[in-house]
Amino acid sequence: MTTLFAFLFVLGVLVFIHELGHFLLARWHGVRVITFSLGFGPKLLKMQRGDTEYCVSIIPLGGYVKMAGENPEDPHTGGSDEFLAKSKWQRFQILLAGPVMNLVLAVVLLAVVLMQGARVLAYLDRPAAVGMVQPGSPAERAGIQPGDVILKVGTADIRTWEHLDMAVAARPEREVPVVVVRNGREERLVVRPDLTELRTRNDARFEVGTIGVLPDVYPTIPAVVAGGPADKVGVKAGDSIVSINGKRMVFSSQVSEEIGKHVNEPIVLTVRREAVDHTFTVTPEQQGDLVRIGISLGDAMRSFTPSPIEAIGLSVERNIEMAGLILLTLRDLVTGEASPKQLMGPVGIAQLSGESAQAGWIALLALMASISLNLGLLNLMPIPVLDGGHIFIMAIETISRRDFSLQVKEKMLFVGFLLLMTLMVTVIYNDLTRIAWIENLMPWR
């Protein structure tokens, strides 16, 4: 039930804000609004106020604002309160208001999330300098080496590790050109990311690409247990773990895993202290269900708690950056460089909404900000039926100085409808394959 309520809350807020934009601008320009509906289909609840009927409909996958004289085939009285009686500039504003409201909501929600402060992995906003290439990985097969700085994956410019993670995740099992800087010179390689399944707590599965590169960072030792195996050989708090038995360490989870393999067996531990490497031989001990050497472990983190003004600035900057990545991904989906398996529909959104709600309001607001940004951008796409499609048609009419006939507009809207139906079938299929028991019923999978 948490998943269902979270999904209805997320979608309800996003749709309401979108349609509210259309409604407010329509009223501002004197257009009579006949219906303001959350959802489609038969009406569950309705209320009449003035000329407008406000209602909640049974299918919660969108909403609409019905304006007087909105379409050429609608009955027209010639009144000044009809949509088509307004100038193209006024109609443009009304159509644009919905997507803009979603973009503004994304900025506001992310600013609220940022104001709470956070601790994040320090390397995520750094250049994608490779510290380790995993043996047998796509990166090793492609010739990527430790010390390389990755600048480009396919058409995506890579400025940080976060950009790299997103670019690779969208391209599983596809031959992708990669540009790296090695010894001051650019090298061009080709990598084919492996397909990896990520599972959520609700056992939903998401297929992403991985290439097997890790950042140039080391796990840290915040504290050493007095009298423990590590303390006895000279390991100190503040040391960074470089390797265990010659195996490069990057994250604290790797250290715990490696130590766990050697209960009562000496291991060679190399640590870095004030830019100097030191090597110790230490024997892990069994302590209950765990194997330990008497240290606490951590990864390099950074903390930030921006002021409200700083949070808004960071939110705008972040949303612009994410919008660019989303648009690049959409382009790559069209060209075939990115995998359509990355698309997510209502079921996928519901699963993520449920998990975010369980994690708390901040996680849910962060998810809503991301979906609102996607929704705003999607509605600006020049696809007939969408707001952006209607704006695109008006722009062509303005440039050509003549309006299209009703028959031409109907054909354009039909093409847009087919595109949306194709997209809907794709995302629903993707959603269903993420549910294990449903995928088991698909013999071709």
Contact 29, 67 (CB under 8 A): no
Average pLDDT, the chain: 85
Q: In angstroms, rounded to a whole number, what is the distance separating the alpha carbons of residues 110 and 279?
A: 45
Residue 157's SS3 state is strand
For residue 339, pLDDT over 60 is answered with: yes
Q: How confident is the model at residue 276 (pLDDT cuts 50, 70, 90)?
A: very high
Q: What tens digit of pLDDT does each residue of 40-86 get?
A: 889 989 999 988 999 999 888 788 999 998 876 667 677 788 998 89
Three-state DSSP state, 41: strand
All structural domains of the chain: 2-29+86-116+366-439 (no CATH), 118-215+300-304 (2.30.42.10), 229-299 (2.30.42.10)
d(CA 192, CA 201): 28
pLDDT band for 349, please (50, 70, 90 cuts): low
pLDDT in tens, 199-229: 555 555 667 889 999 999 999 999 999 999 9
**Span 380-385, average pLDDT:** 84
Active site residues: 19
Residue 204 DSSP class: B
pLDDT at 49: 92
| Confidence grade of residue 335 (pLDDT, cut at 50, 70, 90) | confident
> Rounded mean pLDDT of 279-283?
94
Query: What percent of the residues of the chain are helix, what percent strand, and what percent coil, each to the nearest 5?
Result: 45, 25, 30
Mean pLDDT for the stretch of residues 153-179: 89
* pLDDT attached to residue 80: 86
Query: Looking at per-residue confidence, does 427 or 385 come out higher?
Result: 385
Collapsing DSSP states into helix, strand and coil, what is residue 142? helix
The encoded tokens of residue 22 equal 């259309």
Using the predicted structure, report yes or no on whether residue 437 has a pLDDT greater than 50.
Answer: no
pLDDT band, very low/low/confident/very high, at 300 (cuts 50, 70, 90): confident
